[in-house]
Amino acid sequence: MANKMKNKYGNPQKNIDAFKTAESAKLAKEVDRQIVRNTVQTDKKPMIMRIIVLAIVAVMVLGIVIGAVAGGIF
């Protein structure tokens, strides 16, 4: 009787192991997707912000230098 049930429904332990493996693969794939999404979203904005900040700093430094030179001459 036990062999008939086992043959009819398969090995329950193997089914449980296969289910766990499939779930872990799904979770790993979802983690990879989140990492890619987070990397793409965070990489673009800081680079643009760095360029803008560097441009503002350059303009401020030039303003100070020009102001010092103009102040020293006049």
CA 19 vs CA 12, 30, 57: distances in Å: 10, 17, 57
Task: Please indicate whether residue 33 or residue 6 has the higher confidence score (pLDDT).
Answer: 33
Residue 21 in this model has a pLDDT that exceeds 80: yes
Query: Is this model's pTM higher than 0.75 or not?
Result: no
Tell me: the pLDDT tens digits for 44-66?
Answer: 667 888 899 999 999 999 999 99
Report domain extents, the chain.
2-73
